[in-house]
Structure 1
Amino acid sequence: MELRQLRYFVAVAEEGGFSRAAERLHIVQSAVSQQVRRLERELGLTLFERSTRRVVLTEAGDRLLPEARDVLAAADRTRRIAAEIAESDTTTLRLGTVRGPGDRVYRLLSRLAELAPELRVRVRGLPVADRLAAVRGGELDAALVRALPATPGLEPIPLWTDPLYVALPARHPAAALPVPKLRDLAGLPLRLAERERNAPFHDLVTSAVRAASNAGPLAGPPFTDLQDTLTAIGAEGERAPSWTVFYRVTGLPEVAGTVIRPLADPVVTTSLAVLPGPPGPALRLLLAAARSFS
């Protein structure tokens, strides 16, 4: 069975005759008739009732028609996806990243544009889980992820590391330390976003606190956004002290009553999540751009 035969069969069924089907397909009528008869012989079915006045589907043809349409639609979809893959391999890079990605990502994309001005970069800002799923499913060529753990079906390529920062009340003893350690914050409730919002970063922080203090972090009020959380830490001060940890996206904010210090350990690594195997041309260009400035 050939796709051509199914296409001719569908055209005859939809046009109601071999002549009109031939016109639609831009071929001679005899070719349409010949291929449909071959299909009938191969299937062992009569698909059309033919007369000098009309051509109508038999019961078998009527049952086969939706299946033939599905096969042709799947074939068209496969061709389209193959064309997109071929295009992405050579001229387009589909990259997942965070919203408000930060200075390093902007520098990376700027350097990539210098190295390969002909390369089109399509950036999609997605939550972490959606980014990783899109790489697995082939919707993205790669995704930038901070604190990426071992992930089944994906290969992490570390690109750069950044320090973490802690924010705590100005009157807390650890605020006097130029570079506090996690053990200096033991017993102070931690403001941390729910794990669902950024599982890799959440796991990095909670594991580091557990290793430093032999206990998990004390749960503080939820982390909302950085500005509101820093303001709350400064405002509540001695009455309800708490702290948070974050990575710098742009500049470090200044908030009354809140002190920000670099954290001694851990650091956060930004990696590229890709499918296993040799990188394609577009991905090799991205890696070259990362190596040139990181």
Structure 2
Amino acid sequence: MDLEIRQLRYFVAVAETGGFGSAARSLHIVQAAVSRQIQRLERSLGVQLFDRSTRHVRLTRAGERLLAEARAVLDAVEHTRTVAAELAAENRQTLHLGTTRAFDARTYQLLDDLAETAPDVRVRLHRFAPDERLAAVRSGELDAAVVRVLDGAPGLDFTALWTDSLMAAVPLGHPLAEHESLSLGQLAGLPLRLAPQRNNPAFHKLIMSACQDAGFVPPLGPPFTTFEATLYDIAVGEPSWTVFYPLGDLPRAPRAALRPLTGITVTAFLAPARTSHRRSDT
């Protein structure tokens, strides 16, 4: 799924103005460009966002759900631009951003948009564990950090960026692999491969709490190690499963089935340093 900030901006404009023509006028572009981008967004998501059967377009249920998320993403982009503008005004040309250790396609989409709006600001990525990221923001080592699951931390302000759906991995030959998507309840009988709580406390708590809300405590299998090793073990070992949020394109897993996990999502947040704590580059 490849979303563009421009598409979300056009989508919000149509939703708020009630029509493609009025949205185009508010955006100072032609109506055909708005319609084309909305159609691409709908194809990318696989859902219809607007009911076009009436004189004034109306949001579908899927569109209503997306609207709040789209506004949050646009607010986060604007917040990032503000941080970049402050850096430029202070004659500091580098924004130090904490991210996950793995390649994260969503973060790079945000960076691409920032590069267009603040081309004089260079972004340097620092890959830390979640707790280390937040500590570095507090100390001023980082100007901001992207974190998942956590929606707040002492001394920091969080802004929602986007929401990720989760995926489950099960053995390809298991009966559950025949389903197009899976719920937590369907996975109740399989051992769960989850990283130790100390590695990512927030994500560990999210998954365990969600399983309990679904009516079961998952039996724990061998711990999640690396992504590739865990998928291999699921493919060739005793039946088990794991859960993850995609950071980019789904990996090749010849003997494991990767299925969307319904009923649970993960939100990413931007945690910027407060102005007085930001680092000063020389």
TM over 0.5: yes
Pick one of 159, 183, 195 that aligns with 1:157: 159
Which residue of 244, 249, 252 corresponds with 1:251? Answer: 249
**What secondary structure sits across from 2:213 in the alignment?**
helix
Q: Which residue of 2 aligns with 1:216?
A: 217
User: How many angstroms apart in 2 are the aligned matches of 1:163 and 1:206?
Assistant: 17
2:235 pairs with 1:234: yes
Task: Please say if 1:176 is aligned against 2:175.
Answer: no
SS at match of 2:158: strand
Deviation at 1:247, TM superposition (A): 1.1
| Counterpart residue identity of residue 272, structure 1 | L
| Cα deviation code 1:14-40 (max 9, x no counterpart) | xxxxxxxxxxxxxxxxxxxxxxxxxxx
Alpha-carbon distance change, 266 to 86 in structure 1, aligned in 2, over 3 angstroms: closer
Cα separation, 1, equivalents of 2:172 and 2:218: 20
Q: Letter of the aligned partner of 2:218 in structure 1?
A: P
Q: Secondary structure at the match of 1:197?
A: coil
Structure 1 SS opposite 2:242 = strand
Q: 1:36-90 deviations in whole A, cap 9, x for unaligned? A: xxxxxxxxxxxxxxxxxxxxxxxxxxxxxxxxxxxxxxxxxxxxxxxxx977955
2:88 and 2:120 in contact (8 A); partners too: no
Q: CA RMSD in A?
A: 2.5
Q: Which residue does 2:7 correspond to in 1?
A: none
Larger Rg: 1
CA distance in 2, matches of 1:183, 1:259: 17
Inter-partner Cα distance in structure 2 for 1:87 and 1:254: 42
Q: TM-score, normalised by structure 2?
A: 0.62
Change (3 A) 1:86 1:162: closer
Q: Which contiguous aligned blocks of 4+ residues in structure 1 show a shift greater than 4 angstroms?
A: 85-90, 275-278
- CA shift at 1:257, angstroms? 2.7
- From 97, 105, 118, the equivalent of 1:95 is 97
- Compute the TM-score of the two structures, normalised by the length of structure 1: 0.60
**5 Å matches for 1:128-147?**
128-147=130-149
- Report the Cα offset of residue 121 of structure 1: 1.8
Cα distance in 2 between the residues matched to 1:127 and 1:211? 27
Is 1:270 equivalent to 2:268 in the alignment?
yes
Matches within 5 A, 1:51-90: none
Instruction: Report the residue type matching 2:260 in the other structure.
Output: P
Matched-pair identity in %: 46
Q: Report if aligned partners of 2:88, 2:121 keep a CA contact under 8 Å in 1.
A: no
CA distance in 2, matches of 1:168, 1:277: 46
For structure 2, the residue ranges without an aligned partner over 5 or more in a row are: 1-85
Asked whether the equivalents of residues 98 and 126 of structure 1 are also in contact (C-alpha less than 8 Å), the reply is: yes
Where 1:265 maps in the other structure, the secondary structure is strand
CA deviation map 1:87-145 (0-9, x unaligned): 79553322111123321111211221111111122221111111011111222121001
Residue 120 of structure 1 corresponds to: 122
Specify the SS of the correspondent of 1:155. Answer: coil
- CA–CA distance in 2 between the matches of 1:161 and 1:110? 19
Which ranges of structure 1 fall in alignment gaps of 5 or more residues?
A: 1-84, 281-294
- CA-to-aligned-CA distance 1:130-165 (integer Å, 9 cap, x gap): 101111122212100111243222222110111110
Correspondence 1:193 to 2:195:
yes
Decide whether the 8 Å contact of 1:149 with 1:200 is kept in 2: no
